[in-house]
Amino acid sequence: MTQLRRPLTDAERLDWIRLIRTENVGPITFHRLMEQYGSAAKALEMLPELARRGGRPKPLRITSKAEAEREMQANRRFGAQLLCACEPDYPEPLAAVDDAPPVISVAGHAHLLRRRAVAIVGARNASLNGKKFAESLARELGTAGLLVVSGLARGIDTAAHAGSLASGTAAVLAGGIDVVYPPENEDLYRDIVAQGVVVAESAIGTQPQARHFPRRNRLISGLSLGVLVVEAALRSGSLITARMALEQGREVMAVPGSPLDPRCHGTNNLLRQGATLVERADDVLRAIENLRPPMLAERQRDLFSAPLHTPAPAAEPDESDLAKARALVLENLGHSPVTIDELVRGCQLSAPVVLTVVLELELAGRVQRLPGHQVSLA
Amino acid sequence: MTQLRRPLTDAERLDWIRLIRTENVGPITFHRLMEQYGSAAKALEMLPELARRGGRPKPLRITSKAEAEREMQANRRFGAQLLCACEPDYPEPLAAVDDAPPVISVAGHAHLLRRRAVAIVGARNASLNGKKFAESLARELGTAGLLVVSGLARGIDTAAHAGSLASGTAAVLAGGIDVVYPPENEDLYRDIVAQGVVVAESAIGTQPQARHFPRRNRLISGLSLGVLVVEAALRSGSLITARMALEQGREVMAVPGSPLDPRCHGTNNLLRQGATLVERADDVLRAIENLRPPMLAERQRDLFSAPLHTPAPAAEPDESDLAKARALVLENLGHSPVTIDELVRGCQLSAPVVLTVVLELELAGRVQRLPGHQVSLA
């Protein structure tokens, strides 16, 4: 394989957008469809039949060319760039993630995303000292040539962006690229667009909702070699980012703090679990110095390269076999998530058959994907 | 071996005191002499000849019976008990230490030393929060049935004693059992004698000097299953206690703190090196729950039992061989410490010969023992 990644034509990009914006299609399903059908165009063609086979009563609402075109135009007008996961400019560490967003909007200086990056995240209600620490650490890491990634939230995130604004900072939004949240960070947002880079997975214009934040967090860690958590209570969003970093094989780092401050319980807990202890910029630099940007996983390399050049649709199992398999999969699924592996073992069917059935059921809206290769009844 | 430890007669105790209070005799040398000669009486008899062979120009000043008797009387008058390392009441975890003090003074409730113990130590200039934390943790550990050991210093030590006064606390002094340092802790000292227990290695009446404090710290860790450090700057005395705990095979625990506070750099560093992170009493209880009080090491078991019953003086090497060995050892020693093992390898002599020569040179005041089985020219 010589050239694994390539820019898409406008027509291809339009198909990618149509596919990922279609109801019941999440990133995992998107990648699965690409794997199965070799191109977004072919996948779009197959969608109605797949959903019907999955038992969907009314037809699947597929995003139209006009809608996708409007999204492309809105990004262009706003000055944002759309990058697809197979394209050379798409950040490689993010492309290596299992559920990499197929399409991202990027505003500001996209070239910053080529830098080695580290995420700094933490409590919204951070202490003054915590914010001071995050800001000065971000400044030093920026000066050392790293891109500092965070989530534009109050507290630690804001401090991290402020400290690295001059050297290079990336804000990842939960809503659309043009929707600032929290509103009080409007000025910071403008500064980052002017001097840094902003990234969003949601379609332009999307108002962020609670469910968008954990999804956004996987981008923060996915863009980075490691995630540093500065102050976090137990069961806080920053710990979700840390868990995602761990699942993505990234370095997890934490700043120690007083046991008397609940804002340090989450970070101290990370340390207890083996996170790298960080007291100064040098600790971060040493922790990531030997890390190389994660390469595209084998599966994704196949997905994003070979099939685009030599589409080779997989042989489909016989429909009567699939019908039996579908009944068996539904019987084995409940409202508590199980992993695909458990499902394959439980059904005693081949993995490709289970994957096909799950894909159909998902498109039909009867099954939902959850983090960690899990599924449950919708 | 049925009964490994036994109470000494007053005459034997007198000999132990004479031997350990004699110039150039430290704990290691004491134990080596016991190993070689089977009893303190026999060792005292051999001292002048050993020191002469080591090249001492004037005779070794051996503590007289009258002086040792006065020390015993002074302890009795003060209400303190003298315990020798082979006696059943001597704390077993301390007896297991290589350089266990041969004799300790104990004032207050000696029976507390039979409890499972944990040390809490830390900065003298501790923060209010650090002291508050140490006090409440000590209270909880005491309530859980542990003896809390500390050093009666300002700051964390004082807080640890205060918190565990009612349940059981042990103060280890650097000077004599009757010398309170710092003077401001006079009241706390009295309270501990009344409700807890006080331990000292130095002879009664000894004013503490700088060199006594690191030696004292090995008793704090030696009495305990583990040492918890609450706030400590880099290069502070508490870290010496932590290092000693590590060398003695005890659990090392530390409380995390803000990187912005230099009083937390030492503790954070311990965490970085693998110390157990402690945020609450439960963390300590879990860390030590499966630890058993360290048993007497094999060497010491031999030392404190068999030889006392069946003294079997080791065969002495020939004097002309020893003279050559002495020259070789002196040639191989400098003012930088080397381990006994290195010395044995460097001299290409047998270990017993090197140990004998080092013992003689030490008694002659020409060689000194240092922590970690090291020696150097005096």
Put simply, the answer to whether B264 touches A280 (Cβ < 8 Å) is: no
**Residue B349 buriedness (CB in 10 A; 0-12 / 13-18 / 19+):** buried
The pLDDT of B72-99, averaged and rounded, is: 96
Instruction: Please check the confidence at residue B305 and state whether its pLDDT lies above 70.
Output: no
What pLDDT is recorded for position A296?
A: 53
Residue B60 has which token pair?
């070794």
What pLDDT is recorded for position B188?
A: 98
Rounded to whole angstroms, the Cα distance separating A155 from B108 reads 53
Half-sphere exposure of B347 (CA within 13 A, CB side): 27
pTM score of the predicted model: 0.86
The pLDDT of B116-145, averaged and rounded, is: 97
Put simply, the answer to whether A129 touches B260 (Cβ < 8 Å) is: yes
Strands A169-173 and A226-230: unpaired
Query: What's the ipTM?
Result: 0.81
**Residue A65 buriedness (CB in 10 A; 0-12 / 13-18 / 19+):** middle
Nearest CB neighbour to A133, from listed B129, B260, B277: B260
Q: Which of A318-327, B182-191, B347-356 has the lowest mean pLDDT?
A: A318-327
What pLDDT is recorded for position B308?
A: 39
Rounded to whole angstroms, the Cα distance separating B186 from B190 reads 6
The pLDDT of B30-43, averaged and rounded, is: 94
Closest-CA distance, B163 to chain A, in angstroms, reads 17
Q: What residue of A is the nearest CA neighbor of B279? A: A259
Rounded to whole angstroms, the Cα distance separating A66 from A79 reads 20
Rounded to whole angstroms, the Cα distance separating B209 from B357 reads 30
What pLDDT is recorded for position B4?
A: 59
Reported as a pLDDT band with limits 50, 70 and 90, residue B316 is: low
Instruction: Please check the confidence at residue B142 and state whether its pLDDT lies above 50.
Output: yes
The H helix count followed by the E strand count for chain A is 17, 12
Q: Is B241 in a helix, a strand, or coil? A: helix
Put simply, the answer to whether B256 touches A259 (Cβ < 8 Å) is: yes
Strands B338-339 and A276-277: unpaired
Question: What tens-digit pLDDT sequence spans chain A (378 residues)?
Answer: 223 588 999 999 999 999 999 999 999 999 999 999 999 999 999 999 999 999 998 889 999 999 999 999 999 999 999 999 999 999 999 999 989 999 999 999 999 999 999 999 999 999 999 999 999 999 999 999 999 999 999 999 999 999 999 999 999 999 999 999 999 999 999 999 999 999 999 999 999 999 999 999 999 999 999 999 999 999 999 999 999 999 999 999 999 999 999 999 999 999 999 999 999 999 999 999 988 877 655 444 444 443 333 344 455 667 888 888 999 999 999 999 999 999 999 999 988 899 989 999 999 999 998 877 889 998
Those residues of chain A whose CB sits closer than 8 Å to some CB in chain B are 129, 132-133, 255-260, 264-265, 268, 271-272, 277-280
Residue % of chain B over a pLDDT of 70: 93
Contacts of residue B214, defined as CB under 8 A and 6 or more positions apart, other chains included, come to: B237, B240, B371
| Residues A223/A198, Cβ–Cβ less than 8 Å | no
Here the contacts of A214-218 (C-beta below 8 Å, separation 24 or greater) are: A214/A240, A214/A371, A215/A174, A216/A151, A216/A172, A216/A173, A216/A174, A217/A121, A217/A151, A217/A241, A217/A244, A218/A97, A218/A99, A218/A244, A218/A248, A218/A371
What pLDDT is recorded for position B81?
A: 97
What pLDDT is recorded for position A315?
A: 59
| Residues B314/B42, Cβ–Cβ less than 8 Å | no
Closest-CA distance, B271 to chain A, in angstroms, reads 8
Q: Which residues from chain B sit within 8 angstroms of residue A129, using beta carbons?
A: 258, 260
